[in-house]
Structure 1
Amino acid sequence: MKKIFTVLLLAVFMLAQFSIASAVAVTGDASITAIPDFSSGTDVDLDWAATGMAAGTKNILVWGREYAAVPVAYDWNDCQLIATIIGTSDASGTFTYDFTTTANLAALSNGDQVEFTLSVDDQTCATADVPAIDSVMGVNYVDTLDPQYYQGNPPSDTGVAPELDIAACNTFEYWALGLDGGPLLPGIAYSGFGTWNPQVTGTFAPPAPLGPDTSLLSWTFNFPATASGVWTATVWPEDMAGNQGAAAEYFRNAVAVDPAELEDCADFTDVAGHADETYIRYLADLGLISGFADGSFGPDNTLTRAEASTLIEISNGYDDTMLPTSAPAGCEFTDVSASDWFAGWVWQACDDGLMNGVGGGLFDPNNLLTRGQVATILNNIFPAYVADPAAFGGFIVTGQPNAILALYPGPIYGYRQAAWTDVSVGAYYAIPVQKAYGWGIAEGTSDTTFSPDQAATRGEFAKMLYRALSVLH
């Protein structure tokens, strides 16, 4: 009996030795040569290389695990076969590591970090040697959220869906504003907008976004005189992790070219090549702004408060036959007389709640309009008309949401935020300025200044008015 037991024990020992020997990693050094900082949580591309491998058949294996303050051992259920190499001592390539087929990495969330290492073995994942617990060759952060964005079609009063609308003339701006990382808590890694391809940094702290938090698209279209048939235009924003929406978004969807779209927009003698040319000419074509008797527009000239009241109420559908002939209650200004050319426009803008006086019973009609006042006027449009917007016409309400009506209500400041050094908390224009910038209607004068007390130029006003009247999609 003792002899039989000894034979059995020897047999078990020999089997164990064979099993151990068969799982010993073969000679060879493998490394991850490149890995994106961020992935969408579905998969990630790893560039790899292996050198000095022994003769025969060997497997390149990639092991993944979620980062933990106290590292956990690699699990063969999260191992994937990169390549089987026969005879060659050196090899390299790109492998797409699929998170969705792993046992422990199939439900990653935003900000999660995944660690990777490689091994060379004559076995496959289920029987290969598990890498040492401190082995990490590359890391990747997870960003699963699609970028948020909205589109601004050119101002229109047709009331049709934005993707079916036509332009008023041959040159117009389609614009859009996108945000990445907005819903995430501070400290959560996200990829940001951009098209860069960075390398591994080696840090285990959440990296700064690779692209900017937000992205403003300004896309100018010029219909050639020979344009015909149907035109389609789409956007499909993508973040640095490769996240996109379910499908491309149309802002023009198989719409036949209209004769009006082949006609030149209204022109002036002094706007060619100006930064605000597209906005000026387009709004002029709609009859919302006008130039001077000599054929110029004066895009760099300043604007008075009286002129601003006129332009905003023209956008609201008024003409001089519809204006009040005396001051409505609450709009009696001592510096506005019935004989003034602007009296009816000022009274109407005041009565509609779009423009207020400056205090002391004054409207200050001939003083220059400031950038902060422009933002305030645009912000006033929503609270003025929220009760019954259908009662107002023109370009303020077109049957489709526009930026100032759809996005300005409440304390929602928009997709972009800025710490302006010259916008004081509590200033009457503080919130309107934040909203105008946040929703893409206005830009700063620098990265840190908005210059709210600086006189607005006629060109700046045209751009802000164009954006504010754009039909959103």
Structure 2
Amino acid sequence: MRKKVFTLLLLTVFMLAQFSTASAVAVAGDASITAIPDFSSGTGVDLDWAATGMAAGTKNILVWARVYAAVPVAYDPADCQLIATIIGTSDASGTFAFDFTTTANLNALGTGDQVEFTLSVDDQTCATADVPAIDSVMAVNYVDSDDPYGFRGSPPDVDVTTPAVIEDNRVACNTFELWGVAGDDDVIPDAYSGVGPWNPSVTGTFAVPAPIGADDEVFSWVFSFPSTASGAWSMSIDPEDAIGNTDGFADYYRDGTLLTTVDAAELADCETFSDISGHEDEVYVRYLASLGLISGFADGTFGPDNTLTRAEASALFEKANGYDDTMLPATAPAGCEFTDVAASDWFAGWVWQACDDGFMNGVGGGLFDPNNLLTRGQVVTIIHNIWLNGGGTAGSYLDFAGPSTTLQDEWNNWGDTLRHAAWTDVSIGAFYAYPVIYAYEVGVADGTSATTFSPDQAATRGEFAKMLYRALSRTDNH
């Protein structure tokens, strides 16, 4: 009798186990997430789905979501949503807008949160359906709910002494670059969706060409005033990240409401050289030449791909600092006595002034090395030195009391949050390490590849012109 009861109990346990196993999959069918963006806003995300192998009858495709945790928690029916109801055996697919705001545990997501998703096929709706296994994850999605941020750059102004209103600045000649740098990761590098459209707009009496960009978070808009340009005009950007976040406020390069009209000087052609047409750095070279900050050679060329020496660089930076050859020291200031710089050298006064201002140092052993080539790492280091010394002479393009510039307001101001690069050729502790990081981050300098900056490579005259133009550009945060 006991044996018979025992056998009956075993049979009962077996049948219950079979029933339990059968109820774990209510109906036949396989559902999958076929596509989902890497990032979404904090309000929802569109996911593509497909269902195959459907059994007969009525079935529900359900999507389950939860916030990622190092130790996974069970899916909650309160965070489940019904994708579709399918009648019959036909396969199905589509796009579903999962709404975070209507869930119990996902309605307060913030930038950097990661959401895990899985699908199930059931004859029940979310409240009574079988909850997926805790290790079931078909897709993940990061949340980016922050607006992009950064700054915009207008050309170096012809009136370097007016710090008042950036929108009211005037350009030196008819061809120039308006540019900007934006980031989207704030201080959370893994919550980055990327800069998307910049939403540029222009109003005025003339049409301008489409902008170039965005490329690596840098926006560039180069154009020329046509000879017929007149009246007030304005140009603005409103950068947007890759999933649509924007602050919704246009940031003006120049605002026509301030009665900023095109004048005759702005319609004049920029200075030019016989070998600069079509060069990638043409706009920077011609514009700075129009300001008198750089010059070409006696034969009418500029040599944009030529290198330049350390002595030549001292003259170029000091011209931006408001000096001409009548204002230079006749003898070496204290601490700037170099054995390879004689008073009879054409560059002596420029070298001594750059040294006395703290912009350029010697190379050791009492030498300045004036005839050696200036490297890319040295260019950004000199710019960094100008920043460290608080700018330049009053009324010059390097005067930090004048208009806000990239060098004055943006250099080292963003905490390494705008543009990032993992340079393989910039070692920690190198004299140019931080200057390279700052220059790249704020758009003053680009790398020579995705992983190299080439700090020891000789800088070209064209590269120098671009770095100087960008460093001196008037800026405003947005």
TM-score normalized by the length of structure 1: 0.77
Please list the CA deviations of residues 165-198 of structure 1 after superposition, one character each: whole Å capped at 9, or x if unmatched: 232222222222333435126xx45433469xxx
Give, in whole Å, the separation in 2 of the partners of 1:442 and 1:360.
30
Match of 2:445 among 413, 438, 442: 442
Which of 343, 346, 367 in structure 2 is aligned with 1:362? 367
What CA distance in whole angstroms lies between the structure 1 residues aligned with 2:107 and 2:447? 43
Q: Which amino acid letter does the alignment assign opposite residue 166 of structure 1?
A: R
Structure 2: tracts of 5 or more residues without a match? 1-24, 198-213
- 1:127-183 deviations in Å (ceiling 9; x for gaps): 553543456554322233333422222222243433332322222222223334351
What is the rounded CA distance, in whole Å, between the counterparts of 1:98 and 1:414 in structure 2? 30
What secondary structure sits across from 1:385 in the alignment?
Answer: coil
Give the corresponding residue for 1:377.
382
Which residue identity does 1:172 align to in structure 2? F
Q: What residue is the counterpart of 2:227 in the other structure? A: 225
Q: Match of 1:377, SS?
A: helix
Distance 2:293 2:444 in 1: 17
1:180–1:213 CA contact under 8 A, matched in 2:
no
Q: 1:351 to 1:138 in 2, by over 3 A?
A: closer
Q: State the shift of 1:84 in Å.
A: 7.1
Deviations 1:332-375 (A, max 9, x none): 33443444333332222121111222333333333332222222
Alignment of 1:113-128 (within 5 A): 113-117=115-119, 119=121, 127-128=127-128
The separation in 1 between residues aligned to 2:247 and 2:267, in whole angstroms, is 33
Judge conservation of contact 1:235–1:248 (CA < 8 Å) in 2: yes
Q: d(CA) in 1 for partners of 2:91 and 2:443?
A: 53
| Alpha-carbon spacing, 1:358–1:106, altered in 2? closer, same or farther (3 Å) | same
CA contact (8 A) 1:74 1:130 kept: no
Residue 172 of structure 1 corresponds to which residue in structure 2?
Answer: 176
Q: Could you tell me which residue of structure 2 aligns to residue 319 of structure 1?
A: 324
2-structure distance, mates of 1:86, 1:395: 73
Equivalent-residue separation in structure 2 for 1:327 and 1:231 (angstroms): 49
Partner of 2:334: 329
Residue of structure 1 equivalent to 2:355: 350
Separation in structure 2 between the aligned mates of residue 288 and residue 343 of structure 1, nearest angstrom:
19
Whole-angstrom distance in 1 between the partners of 2:416 and 2:28 = 59
The reply to whether residue 184 of structure 1 matches residue 188 of structure 2 is yes
Aligned 8 A contact 1:304 1:369 in 2: yes
What percent of counterpart residues are identical?
63
User: Separation in 1 of the partners of 2:132 and 2:413?
Assistant: 55
Go from structure 1 to structure 2 and tell me whether the alpha carbon gap of 1:301 and 1:91 turns closer, same or farther (over 3 Å shift): closer
Q: Over the residues paired in the alignment, what is the CA RMSD in angstroms?
A: 3.6
Matches within 5 A, 1:198-209: none
Letter in 2 for 1:34: A
- In the TM superposition, what whole-angstrom CA distance separates every residue of 1:397-417 from its partner, at most 9, and x where no partner exists? 263332223344599667444
Q: What is the identity, as a one-letter code, of the residue corresponding to 1:155?
A: P
> What is the rounded CA distance, in whole Å, between the counterparts of 1:239 and 1:144 in structure 2?
10
Correspondence for 2:280: 275
Q: What's the counterpart of residue 290 of structure 2?
A: 285
Q: Which moves more between the two structures, 338-347 or 99-108?
A: 338-347
Equivalent position SS for 2:255: strand
Which residue of 456, 460, 476 maps to 1:457? 460
CA distance in structure 2 between the aligned counterparts of 1:309 and 1:164, rounded to whole angstroms: 31
Q: CA 1:267 to 1:414, structure 2 compared with 1: closer, same or farther past 3 Å?
A: farther
- 1:68/1:447 CA distance change after superposition, 3 Å: closer
Show the 5 A alignment for 1:71-86: 71-82=72-83
Label 1:26 to 1:226 Cα distance change in 2 as closer, same or farther (>3 A). farther
Offset, 1:316: 1.1
What's the counterpart of residue 142 of structure 2? 141
Structure 2 CA distance for aligned equivalents of residues 443 and 401 of structure 1? 22
2:251 maps to which residue?
A: 249
Report the number of matched residues.
Answer: 426
User: Matches of 2:234 and 2:322 in 1, distance apart?
Assistant: 30
Call closer, same or farther: CA 1:53–1:228 in 2, change over 3 Å: farther
2:210 alignment counterpart: none
CA distance in 2, matches of 1:256, 1:365: 45
- Alpha-carbon contact 2:196-2:239 (below 8 Å) kept: no
The answer as to whether partners of 2:61 and 2:119 remain within 8 angstroms in 1 is no
Letter in 2 for 1:129: A
AA of the residue aligned to 1:286: L
Query: Does the 8 Å contact 1:328/1:351 carry over to 2?
Result: yes
**Counterpart Cα distance in 2 of 1:425 and 1:79:** 49
Tell me the distance in 1 between the aligned counterparts of 2:77 and 2:334.
Answer: 79
Output the CA distance in 2 between the equivalents of 1:364 and 1:83: 74
1:115 deviation in Å?
A: 1.6
Q: CA deviation at 1:121?
A: 5.2
Shift of 1:269: 0.6
Choose 336-345 or 453-462, whichever is displaced more. Answer: 336-345
Amino acid at match of 1:464: M
Contact 1:42 1:98 (8 Å CA) reproduced: yes
Matched, 1:263 2:264: no
2: distance between equivalents of 1:132 and 1:426?
Answer: 52
Q: Partner letter of residue 345 of structure 2?
A: D
Residue identity in the other structure for 1:141:
Y
Higher deviation after alignment, 372-381 or 446-455: 446-455
Q: Distance in 2 between matches of 1:261 and 1:343?
A: 36
Instruction: Give the distance between the partners of 2:166 and 2:336, measured in 1 at CA.
Output: 37
